[in-house]
């Protein structure tokens, strides 16, 4: 520990702490802008400058290390004046359209002005050129960019994608893909982590609300909504509730109040995914152990950001992916077939909305693979943030809503579905079903949890040994399956490089595109600097949802059983494959070049590795 003095207070701090961190320990908040805990720290904006006795220059507190005996002043007249000048320069070429910006009242630049006591500005520069890039998932508005480079760090250092970076120099600098290409034309995964860390309206999710409002106001449409598991663990934060408070019942009530005809739960789709994915895993294991052709390890496919990244970075490894659609597109396909037939509505007159923690889902739903019978499985995706805006627009007092319920028959789910929202949850849910189907016994572990894969570690591994199996699975007796779980694309690359090299020891791998899984998705409420453990709180909320349910294994869901008995027949059967499974597109790092010049090579390699089929 070291001791220093900040604003006349004696402060003890761990050696290696920055001045900003030491000040926080003393209850002193230093204004900042580019600094984003756990993401980006390089002192580029200089808003956090402080005065240190013995030093001539003001120093950036987010990067300067605290020293034993140091005397620091965080709000002298000199410091306050410097911050105001820096702020004035930052907004000198910034648009003044705050009242109709999507980030109004949640913009960090706007809030900083209030913190610094800015009442007027004195510097008026030339406005930044307008460059708006609208992809299906993310909208870039460069005139609102303040060049803090948080998004660059999130894309390069956290996700390891590198789709955007600083172009040009000086006043001509712009954050953009190479050669100012649109995001949709480069290897952007559409994960939206850049939109989470952007302090202004320069990077936002592409608006999906207008289409949903239009559908709700169209009397010819039956508008159906479904909600992902991670949303219920974070939506409350948009209404000033503490992180980790589950709002499942309030959310169901709010969706009914918004006017949706049917309010279903993507958790039902998650249970359905486990039935299909678990069966697919058993089929691959059966083939591998009986001398047939099988591609192992099998890798989960429910994260569309991960899928797109894999198509770009690992096109020759696509056969390792499960062929299952993601849970919300599965449920969309069921809504527009099974449910439409049940209620006598033409699928083309149904409008399915998914509320997701994810921006990549917006890209996913417009993929040509995500349709059946000429109808897209899902018509619109709202992020958690967008749903909150719609609730506020309708004047709904969310905090004081009574708890409601999801509608039948596609609103009931087991606890296994809830944990889809956390990293490791899909793997655990799948193994709860697979292990019990093979052995007739519950998955061993603490309260059905496979503890080695619980938590937020970057890469988690475990071994599952099948013993005393049912007679029909005798070939699995004594077999140990090695499993791995990861989240975040940079961490996924570590496992995929092993798969690519042929050295992977794993049988089954779970990958979530966003760091920490869907609880930290690109469409979730933005990072709360004052609640550093918000991800742990959201994770705990979903595990509590799981443990609070009577049924906690997907194959025990009575409505899933009814779906197979009445409609689908069997998991991975003919109709299931038609509605619930998909294929992928090899893209390479620049998809247009790859598709034009390498499709034939890809087909040749695939045929050689995995056979003509």
* Nearest alpha-carbon partner for 314 in 504, 587, 601: 587
Residues 280, 311, 386, 428: which is the catalytic one? 280
What letters, b where the CB count within 10 A reaches 16 and e where it falls short, cover 528-537? Answer: eeeeeebbbb
Residues 311, 364, 386, 545: which is the catalytic one? 364
Residues 322, 326, 354, 576: which is the catalytic one? 322
Alpha carbons within 13 angstroms on the beta-carbon side of residue 496 total 30
- Stated as kind and residue range, the H or E segment containing 381 is strand 380-383
Structure tokens at 37: 């805990």
Quote the CA–CA distance of 4 and 424 in Å, as a whole number: 42
Residues 191, 302, 514, 572: which is the catalytic one? 302
Residue 322 annotated among the catalytic residues of the structure: yes
What letters, b where the CB count within 10 A reaches 16 and e where it falls short, cover 90-127? Answer: bbebbeeeeeebbbeebbbbbebbeebeeeebeeeeee
Residues 101, 145, 148, 518: which is the catalytic one? 518
Quote the CA–CA distance of 172 and 170 in Å, as a whole number: 5
DSSP 315: G
Quote the CA–CA distance of 273 and 46 in Å, as a whole number: 48
Q: What is the residue whose two structure tokens read 């006598």?
A: 344
Residues 3, 21, 184, 369: which is the catalytic one? 369
Structure tokens at 604: 């040749």
Q: Which residues contact 336 (CB under 8 A, 6 or more apart)?
A: 347, 350, 352, 372, 373, 375, 377
Q: What is the residue whose two structure tokens read 């969309």?
A: 332
Residue 302 annotated among the catalytic residues of the structure: yes
Residue 277 annotated among the catalytic residues of the structure: yes
Structure tokens at 308: 């797109």
Distances (CA, A) of 84 to 2, 107, 122, 359, 556: 31, 18, 10, 35, 61
Structure tokens at 522: 């690109």
Residue 280 annotated among the catalytic residues of the structure: yes
Q: What is the residue whose two structure tokens read 């798969």?
A: 499
Give SS3 for 480.
strand
Q: What is the residue whose two structure tokens read 């109040």?
A: 257
Q: Is 242 left (phi over 0), alpha (psi -120 to 50) or beta?
A: beta
Residues 144, 361, 362, 535: which is the catalytic one? 361
Structure tokens at 20: 């900003």
Residue 467 annotated among the catalytic residues of the structure: no
List the catalytic residues.
Answer: 277, 280, 302, 322, 361, 364, 369, 518
């Amino acid at each position: 520990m070291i001791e220093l003095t900040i604003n006349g207070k004696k402060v003890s701090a761990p050696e290696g702490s920055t001045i900003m961190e030491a000040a926080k320990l003393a209850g002193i908040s230093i204004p900042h802008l580019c600094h984003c805990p756990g993401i980006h720290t390089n002192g580029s904006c200089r808003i956090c400058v402080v005065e240190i006795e013995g030093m001539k220059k003001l120093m950036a507190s987010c990067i300067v290390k605290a020293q034993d005996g140091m005397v620091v002043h965080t709000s002298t007249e000199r410091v306050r004046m410097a911050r105001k000048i820096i702020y004035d320069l930052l907004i000198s070429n910034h648009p003044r359209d705050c009242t109709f910006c999507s980030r109004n009242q949640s913009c960090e630049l706007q809030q900083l002005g209030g913190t610094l006591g800015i009442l007027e500005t004195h510097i008026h520069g030339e406005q930044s050129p307008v460059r708006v890039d609208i992809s299906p998932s993310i909208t870039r508005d460069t005139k609102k960019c303040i060049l803090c480079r948080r998004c660059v760090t999130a894309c390069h250092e956290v996700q390891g994608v590198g789709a955007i970076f600083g172009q040009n120099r000086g006043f001509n600098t712009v954050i953009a893909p190479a050669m100012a290409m649109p995001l949709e034309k480069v290897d952007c995964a559409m994960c939206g982590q850049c939109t989470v860390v952007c302090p202004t309206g320069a990077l936002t999710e592409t608006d999906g609300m207008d289409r949903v409002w239009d559908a709700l106001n169209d009397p010819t449409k039956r508008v159906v909504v479904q909600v992902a598991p991670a949303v219920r663990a974070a939506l409350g934060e948009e209404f000033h509730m503490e992180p980790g408070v589950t709002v499942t019942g309030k959310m169901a009530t709010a969706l009914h109040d918004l006017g949706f005809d049917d309010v279903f739960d993507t958790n039902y789709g998650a249970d359905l995914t486990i039935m299909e994915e678990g069966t697919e895993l058993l089929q691959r294991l059966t083939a591998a152990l009986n001398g047939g052709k099988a591609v192992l390890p099998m890798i989960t496919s429910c994260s569309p950001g991960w899928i797109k990244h894999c198509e770009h970075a690992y096109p020759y490894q696509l056969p390792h992916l499960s062929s299952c659609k993601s849970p919300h597109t599965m449920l969309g396909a069921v809504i527009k077939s099974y449910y439409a037939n049940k209620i006598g509505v033409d699928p083309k007159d149904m409008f399915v909305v998914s509320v997701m923690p994810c921006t990549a889902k917006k890209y996913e739903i417009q993929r040509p693979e995500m349709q059946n019978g000429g109808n897209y499985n899902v018509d619109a995706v709202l992020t958690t943030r967008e749903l909150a805006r719609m609730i506020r627009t309708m004047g709904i007092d969310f905090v004081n809503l009574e708890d409601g319920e999801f509608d039948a028959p596609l609103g009931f789910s087991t606890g296994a579905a809830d944990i889809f929202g956390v990293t490791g949850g899909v793997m655990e849910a799948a193994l709860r079903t697979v292990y019990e189907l093979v052995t007739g016994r519950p998955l061993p572990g603490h309260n059905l949890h496979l503890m080695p894969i619980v938590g937020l570690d970057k890469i988690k591994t475990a071994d599952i040994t099948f013993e005393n199996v049912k007679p029909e699975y005798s070939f699995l007796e004594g077999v140990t399956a090695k499993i791995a779980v990861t989240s975040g694309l940079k961490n996924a690359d570590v496992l995929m490089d092993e798969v690519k090299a042929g050295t992977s020891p794993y049988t089954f791998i779970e990958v979530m595109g966003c760091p920490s899984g869907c609880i930290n998705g690109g469409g979730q409420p933005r990072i709360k600097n004052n609640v550093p453990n918000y991800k742990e709180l959201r994770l705990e909320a979903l595990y509590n949802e799981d443990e609070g349910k009577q049924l906690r294994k997907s194959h025990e869901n009575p409505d899933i059983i009814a779906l197979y008995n009445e409609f689908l027949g069997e998991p991975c059967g003919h109709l299931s494959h038609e509605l619930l499974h998909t294929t992928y597109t090899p893209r390479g790092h620049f998809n247009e070049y790859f598709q034009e010049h390498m499709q034939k090579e890809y087909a040749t390699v695939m045929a050689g590795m995995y056979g003509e089929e």
